[in-house]
Amino acid sequence: MTEQPTRRRPTLDEVAERAGVSRTAASRALNNAPNVSRDKREAVLRAIKELGYVPNPTARALATQQAGAVALIISGEDPAVLADPFYGQVIAGASTVLEETDLHLVLCLATSARGQIRVKQLLRTRAVDGVMLMSLRGDDPLTSLALAAGVPAVFGGKPLHGQVPYYVDVDNVLGARQATEHLISRGRTRIATLTGPLDTDVGRARRRGHLEALTLAGLPYRAEEAGDFTERGGMAAMEALLARHPDLDAVFAANDNMAAGALRVLGRAGRAVPADVAVIGFDGLAVSEITEPPLTTVHQPIRNIGREMTRMLLALMAGERPSPLILPTTLVQRDST
Amino acid sequence: MTEQPTRRRPTLDEVAERAGVSRTAASRALNNAPNVSRDKREAVLRAIKELGYVPNPTARALATQQAGAVALIISGEDPAVLADPFYGQVIAGASTVLEETDLHLVLCLATSARGQIRVKQLLRTRAVDGVMLMSLRGDDPLTSLALAAGVPAVFGGKPLHGQVPYYVDVDNVLGARQATEHLISRGRTRIATLTGPLDTDVGRARRRGHLEALTLAGLPYRAEEAGDFTERGGMAAMEALLARHPDLDAVFAANDNMAAGALRVLGRAGRAVPADVAVIGFDGLAVSEITEPPLTTVHQPIRNIGREMTRMLLALMAGERPSPLILPTTLVQRDST
DNA sequence: CCCAAAACTGGAAGCGCTTCCAGTCCGTTT
DNA sequence: AAACGGACTGGAAGCGCTTCCAGTTTTGGG
């Protein structure tokens, strides 16, 4: 039945005619704008129902000069970035906010040369009314591109270089400092860190917080290894760390994935956690609850990040000038420290 | 500077004027259609460059009656479905294919009542040129909705009820059978299974494959517990299973997440894997490589699913009638069996 | 050198909806 | 009863691009 020659869908003109009013009036009734008498409004509504009329979003977009969509742009060198549940959470948060509007979410992975070009196009053609950008690396050209495009843009996490006016972030420095201070409070003195990529703001900020805590406590021990925020990368980094600093008694991993990897490596190496080595993570992802042992971690409200980015974008699109937002982190004590 | 009164962007008319040709010719040159002399074509291209002209996608969409986008609709009762890296892979696969076209990807989470309504709207208003649907539960109304909408639609995995003409799936029955046969070949005789949700086709199909293998081998032992495809759910199910069937000597988990959960529970319960209990999963996600011990699993080409769904959708949109596709699975032997 | 076929051209008609603006109607105010 | 502000109306002008079609110019064969 669906194969029937797809009878052309009714237009607003037909609705107007059937209701015996002008197209203008029909449009007003449709959008329940003022200046339509009660009678006509009802007549139009009835006609709409009878005809099964559905407004054409493209035509509306052309007339109103609004795309009716916002984009979430995820950068990174590998399409596998999405394997990180982190983004899933952000997307979920964004979705819940967008559900309340009539904006669609277009997802762009700027993970290949081709992808970057597509994003550029998206920005230039103004195919969306606003964009959210995430996980930009050091001098990601997307940053300036987005800023220059004149499209409302909010960033998830500050880009490493360049100031951006609108962003949502968590206090990475403070969170990391709390993490390391927690380890210190447990009596650890040879505290190593598995950092994130150091060409990202989040990677550096967490490292900085860690170092601040060490300095403040007057601890001279320094040991670190860079990871890539994946569990696998965390394993490799932990192995390297263990080889170079076999005497470490605690590890601050810059995220839970890497912490989970570290736990495995420590387990295989025969180090008891937390007896021999205490481990703390960052994120508060589901994985942190089910590691062996359950992971103490610095929890960040990821879903909220998506939600707040979206709210900020909506505000921006509405002509407001929202302030950057720094979300708080909280230490969640479990069994690995 | 971006605050400057946003000088109106040039239109095709202005390009045409500057190039000294008609708008028609300009359009043709732009889309490099035939019937434009070399001279004019070049003049237009030059004007485009000089003016920094960028075509307005909305106007084009209105004129061509094509939205220029396809949707990926993910159903499920919880926005957290996206936490499963599975979808990340599918999205990545879809993206790589779409990158080669000029279609955008709009992502819809039909995970709430509001979300369902939005999807319905999306379908009715024809805001996209095609849709891909995933993870539909038993009698998900989305199935018939999508079919009735008259929009090209391809399904990821067969819906439980109702035949759909276009879908991409893996041979879940066969894959599951291989898994259990593998366990049997390792000499196991008391083989339990952690099933997926039994109101999904994938959940039932894998269970069926498991049972087929048992029947074929003449093994009378039956033990199963339903999970929800999450690691956490796998843990709960494994605990229940262990309590009711303490004598089991092998477990087929319907996906890797649950298998990972099962491994943890078995570890805590003091059962050695694979010595006491052999475990096999399904999916071949990254997690299967880093569990302790590394997990033997039935690998399915997830990225390809996204890719092939997209290709199928493109074919459908091009007026072809592609055949459903069943992707093969392969057994990946690691250390848990 | 003539004529039909092939290759261009560009005016004009949309695609479906929003919104400005010049009016029309009415109930009040004085 | 004349004047007035406010609530409706709907014709018409777009929004920016594609494409049909009738007409014009080139080509190429005979």
Q: What is the pLDDT of residues B196-252, one digit of tens each?
A: 999 999 999 999 999 999 999 999 999 999 999 999 999 999 999 999 999 999 999
Tell me the one-letter amino acid at B149: A
Per-residue model confidence (pLDDT) at position B286: 85
- Examine the pLDDT at B3 and tell me if it is beyond 50: no
- Distance from the B214 Cα atom to the nearest Cα atom in chain A, whole angstroms: 31
Mean pLDDT across A186-193: 97
Mean pLDDT across A177-198: 97
- The mean pLDDT of chain B is 93
Per-residue model confidence (pLDDT) at position A7: 63
Q: Would the CB atoms of B122 and A109 count as touching at under 8 Å?
A: no
CA-based nearest residue in chain A for residue B106: A106
- Cβ distance A117 to A145 under 8 Å? no
CA distance A263 to A278: 10
- Examine the pLDDT at A79 and tell me if it is beyond 90: no
Q: Would the CB atoms of A148 and B69 count as touching at under 8 Å?
A: no
Closest CB from A83, A99, A290 relative to B231: A290
CA distance B197 to B199: 5
Q: Which residue in B186, B193, B187, B174 sits closest to B281, CA to CA?
A: B193
Residue nearest to nucleotide C14 (CA to C1'): B63
Find the Cα–Cα–Cα–Cα dihedral A4, A6, A8, A9, rounded to 10°: 110
Which of A76-85, A297-306, B8-17 has the weakest average pLDDT?
A76-85
Q: Would the CB atoms of B82 and A62 count as touching at under 8 Å?
A: no
Q: Would the CB atoms of A2 and B267 count as touching at under 8 Å?
A: no
pLDDT, tens only, B140-175:
888 989 999 989 999 999 888 878 999 999 999 999
Which of A88-92, A205-209, B23-27, B139-143 has the weakest average pLDDT?
B139-143
Mean pLDDT across A145-168: 91
Q: Which nucleotide is nearest to B16 (CA to C1')?
A: C10
The share of chain B scoring above pLDDT 90, in percent, equals: 83
- Examine the pLDDT at A162 and tell me if it is beyond 80: no
- Examine the pLDDT at B1 and tell me if it is beyond 50: no
CA distance A179 to A283: 11
Whether CB of A64 is under 7 Å from strand C: the answer is yes
Per-residue model confidence (pLDDT) at position B138: 73
B296-299 and B330-332: which strand pairing? Answer: antiparallel
- Cβ distance B329 to B296 under 8 Å? no
- Chain A positions touching B114 (Cβ under 8 A) are 99-100
Which of A282-296, B1-15, B110-124 has the weakest average pLDDT?
B1-15
Structure tokens at A201: 């703001």
CA of B37 to C1' of C1 (A): 27
CA-based nearest residue in chain A for residue B78: A92
Closest CB from A83, A100, A111 relative to B286: A83
pLDDT, tens only, A5-55:
456 799 999 999 999 999 999 999 999 898 899 999 999 999 999 999 999
- Examine the pLDDT at A163 and tell me if it is beyond 90: no
Mean pLDDT across B117-127: 94
Q: Which residue in A132, A65, A112 sits closest to B57, CA to CA?
A: A65
- Cβ distance B125 to A54 under 8 Å? yes
Per-residue model confidence (pLDDT) at position A189: 97
pTM: 0.93
Cβ neighbors of B225 (< 8 A, separation 6 or more) are B192, B193, B194, B195, B237, B238, B240, B241, B244
Find the Cα–Cα–Cα–Cα dihedral B33, B38, B39, B45, rounded to 10°: 50
- Examine the pLDDT at A119 and tell me if it is beyond 70: yes
Mean pLDDT across B295-324: 96
Count CA within 13 A, CB hemisphere, residue B252.
Answer: 34
Structure tokens at B332: 């990946």
B224-226 and B250-253: which strand pairing? Answer: unpaired
Tell me the one-letter amino acid at A223: A
**Dihedral sign for Cα atoms in the order B242, B248, B254, B258:** positive
CA distance A73 to B80: 20
- Distance from the B213 Cα atom to the nearest Cα atom in chain A, whole angstroms: 32
Tell me the one-letter amino acid at B261: G
Q: Would the CB atoms of B125 and A55 count as touching at under 8 Å?
A: yes
Per-residue model confidence (pLDDT) at position A4: 36
Per-residue model confidence (pLDDT) at position A138: 73
Q: Would the CB atoms of A125 and B231 count as touching at under 8 Å?
A: no
Whether CB of B22 is under 7 Å from strand C: the answer is yes
- Examine the pLDDT at B306 and tell me if it is beyond 70: yes
Q: Residue B199 forms beta bridges with which residues?
A: none
- Distance from the B309 Cα atom to the nearest Cα atom in chain A, whole angstroms: 17
Q: Which residue in A37, B1, B325 sits closest to A26, CA to CA?
A: A37
CA of A176 to C1' of D22 (A): 74
Q: Residue A69 forms beta bridges with which residues?
A: A104
- The mean pLDDT of chain A is 93
Q: Would the CB atoms of B54 and A118 count as touching at under 8 Å?
A: no
Per-residue model confidence (pLDDT) at position A28: 94
The share of chain B scoring above pLDDT 70, in percent, equals: 98
The footprint of strand D (CB < 7 Å) covers A 21-25, 34-40, 59, 62-63, 65; B 8-9, 11-13, 23-24, 27-28, 30-31, 33, 53, 55-56, 59-60, 62-64
- Cβ distance B107 to B47 under 8 Å? no
Q: Which nucleotide is nearest to B14 (CA to C1')?
A: D16
Q: Which residue in A298, A304, A296, A297 sits closest to A327, CA to CA?
A: A304
Which of A131-135, A280-284, B70-74 has the weakest average pLDDT?
A131-135
- Examine the pLDDT at B2 and tell me if it is beyond 60: no
pLDDT, tens only, B171-208:
999 999 999 999 999 999 999 999 999 999 999 999 99
pLDDT, tens only, A326-336:
999 999 999 99
Tell me the one-letter amino acid at A217: A
